[in-house]
Structure 1
Amino acid sequence: MSLSTALYGAFSGLKANSRAAALVSTNIANATTESYGRRELDLRSGPSGTGGGVLIDGVLRNVNPVLIADRRQSDAEMALGGTLFDFATRFETELGDSETPGSLVGRYTALENALLVAAADPSSAQRLDQVSLTADAVSTKLNALSRDVQAARLDADKEIGRQVTLLNETILRLDGINDDLTKAASANGDPAALLDEQARLLDSISEIVPLRVVQKDAGDIALYTTGGAVLLDGRPSEIGFTPVNAMDPVFTQAGGDLSGLTINGMFAKASGNGVLKGGSLAAQFEIRDEVAPARQAQLDAIARDLIERLGPGGPDATLAATDPGLFTDDGLAFVPLNETGIAGRIRINTLVGPDSGGSWRLRDGLGAATTGPVGEARLLQGISAALEAGTVPSSPALPAVNASFATHVADVTSDAAAARVRAEGQKTYLNAQNTQLKELELANGVDTDAELQRLMQIEQLYVANVKVMQTVNELMKQLMSI
Structure 2
Amino acid sequence: MSISSALSNALSGLTAASRRAEVVSANVANALTPGYGRREVQLSAISLGGKGAGVRVDGITRSVNLTVIGDRRLADADAGNATQRAQTLARIEGAIGEPSEPYSLSARIVGLEQALVQAAGRPDSEARLQSVGERATGLARALQDLTRELQDIRMDADQEIGQQVETLNTTLRQIDALNTNILAQRSAGRDATALMDQRQVLVDRIASIVPVREVARDHDQIALFTTGGAILLDGNPAEIGFSTVGVITPEMTRDSGALSGLSINGITIGAGEAGPLRGGTLAALFTVRDQIATGAQSQFDALARDLVERFLGDPTLPAGAPGLFTDAGGPVDAMNEAGLAGRITVNAAADPASGGALWRLRDGLGAAAPGPVGNASGLLALADRLADERVPASGTFIGAARAAAGLAADVLSQMSGARLSAEAAGAHAAARQSALSDLELADGVDTDAEMQTLLLVEQAFSANARVIRTLDELIQQLIGL
Say whether the 8 Å CA contact 1:8–1:51 is kept in structure 2. Answer: no
CA-to-aligned-CA distance 1:53-86 (integer Å, 9 cap, x gap): 1110000100011111101111111111111111
SS of aligned partner of 2:321: coil
Q: Which residue of 2 aligns with 1:333?
A: 331
Q: Which moved more, 1:346-355 or 1:57-66?
A: 346-355
Partner of 1:183: 184
Rounded to whole Å, the distance in 2 between the matches of 1:101 and 1:465 is 83
Please tell me whether the aligned partners of residues 45 and 53 of structure 1 are also in contact (alpha carbons under 8 angstroms): yes
Whole-angstrom CA distance in 1 between matches of 2:140 and 2:129:
17
Which residue of structure 1 lines up, in the alignment, with residue 433 of structure 2? Answer: 434
* Distance of 1:333 and 1:415 partners within structure 2: 28
Distance (whole Å) between structure 1 residues aligned to residue 129 and residue 102 of structure 2: 22
Q: Secondary structure at the match of 2:453?
A: helix
Residue 317 (structure 2) aligns with: 319
Q: Secondary structure in 2 aligned to 1:218?
A: helix
Q: Which residue of 2 aligns with 1:296?
A: 297
Matched, 1:43 2:26: no
How big is the shift at 1:36? 0.8
Counterpart of 2:57 in 1: which secondary structure? strand
Distance in 1 of aligned mates of 2:112 and 2:352: 14
User: Which amino acid is 1:119 matched to?
Assistant: A
- Tell whether 2:397 aligns with 1:387: no
CA distance in 1, matches of 2:348, 2:29: 70
- Distance in structure 1 (CA, Å) of the matches to 2:224 and 2:289: 27
CA distance in 1, matches of 2:278, 2:356: 56
Partners of 1:133 and 1:354 within 8 A in 2? no
Q: Paired residue for 1:54?
A: 55
Q: Residue 400 of structure 1 corresponds to which residue in structure 2? A: 399
Which residues in structure 2 correspond to 1:64-463 (within 5 Å)?
A: 64-311=65-312, 313=313, 316-353=314-351, 358-463=357-462
Aligned with 1:57: secondary structure?
strand
Query: What code does the residue aligned with 1:326 have?
Result: L
Q: Distance in 2 between matches of 1:398 and 1:247?
A: 26
Question: 2:86 touches 2:423 (CA, 8 Å); kept in 1?
Answer: yes
Residue matched to 1:33:
33
User: Residue 59 and residue 157 in structure 1: after superposition, are their counterparts in 2 closer, same or farther (change >3 A)?
Assistant: same
**CA separation in 2, counterparts of 1:291 and 1:335?**
24
Mark the CA change 1:218 to 1:101 in structure 2 (over 3 Å): closer, same or farther.
farther
Residue of structure 2 equivalent to 1:469: 468
Hey, what does 2:10 align to over in structure 1?
A: 10
Offset at residue 322 of structure 1 (A): 4.4
SS at match of 1:347: strand
Deviation of residue 2 (structure 1)?
Answer: 2.4
Deviation at 1:51, TM superposition (A): 5.9
- Listed one character per residue, the Cα deviations across residues 230-263 of structure 1 (whole Å, up to 9, x for unaligned) are 1111212111111111001111111110111011
Q: TM-score, normalised by structure 2?
A: 0.97
Displacement of 1:458 after TM fit?
1.3
Task: Describe the shift of the 1:470–1:419 C-alpha distance in structure 2 as closer, same or farther (beyond 3 A).
Answer: same
SS at match of 1:46: strand
| Letter in structure 2 aligned against 1:14 | L
Counterpart amino acid of 1:236? P
Task: Give, in whole Å, the separation in 2 of the partners of 1:430 and 1:279.
Answer: 12
- What is the DSSP-based 3-state SS (H/G/I as helix, E as strand, rest coil) of the residue aligned with 2:58? strand
Measured against aligned partners, the alpha-carbon deviations of 1:414-450 in whole angstroms (never above 9, x if no partner) come to: 1111111111111111100000000000000011111
- 1:324 and 1:317 map into 2 onto residues whose CA distance is 11
Distance 2:25 2:330 in 1: 75
Amino acid at match of 1:4: S
Per the TM alignment, residue 354 of structure 1 is displaced from its structure 2 partner at its CA by: 6.1
- Are the equivalent residues in 1 in contact too, given 2:348–2:356 (CA < 8 A)? no
- The residue matched to 2:397 in structure 1 has which SS? coil
1:182–1:220: 8 Å Cα contact kept in structure 2? Answer: yes
Residue type of the alignment partner of 1:469: I
CA distance in 2, matches of 1:48, 1:105: 89
- Distance in 2 (alpha carbons) for counterparts of 1:247 and 1:13: 70
Task: Say which SS state the counterpart of residue 430 (structure 1) adopts.
Answer: helix
Write the mapping of 1:16-27 to structure 2, written as runs, cut at 5 A: 16-27=16-27
Give, as a single letter, the amino acid of the residue that structure 2 aligns with 1:55. Answer: R
Q: Deviations over 1:262-311 (max 9, x none)?
A: 11111111323321111111111111111111100000000000011013
- Which residue identity is paired with 2:27? N
1:102 and 1:456 mapped to 2: Cα distance? 70
Q: Distance in 1 between matches of 2:480 and 2:218?
A: 56
Aligned letter for 1:405? A
Q: What code does the residue aligned with 1:440 have?
A: L
- Structure 2 counterpart of 1:321, which letter? A
- For 2:303 and 2:345, how far apart are their aligned partners in 1? 13
The structural deviation recorded for 1:183 is 1.6
Amino acid at match of 2:336: N
Q: TM-score normalized by structure 1?
A: 0.97
| Aligned residues of 2:390 and 2:402 also touching (Cα < 8 A) | yes
CA distance in 1, matches of 2:435, 2:52: 49
**183-192 or 70-79, which deviates more:** 183-192
- Which residue identity does 1:237 align to in structure 2? A
For 1:378 and 1:398, locate their aligned partners in 2 and report how far apart those are by CA, in whole Å: 32
What amino acid is aligned across from residue 66 of structure 1 in structure 2?
T
Distance across 1 between alignment mates of 2:475 and 2:42: 33
> Judging changes above 3 Å, is the alpha-carbon distance between structure 1 residues 332 and 357 closer, same or farther for their aligned structure 2 residues?
closer
Residue 189 of structure 1: SS of its match in structure 2?
A: coil
Tell me if the contact between 1:136 and 1:354 (Cα under 8 Å) persists in the aligned partners: no
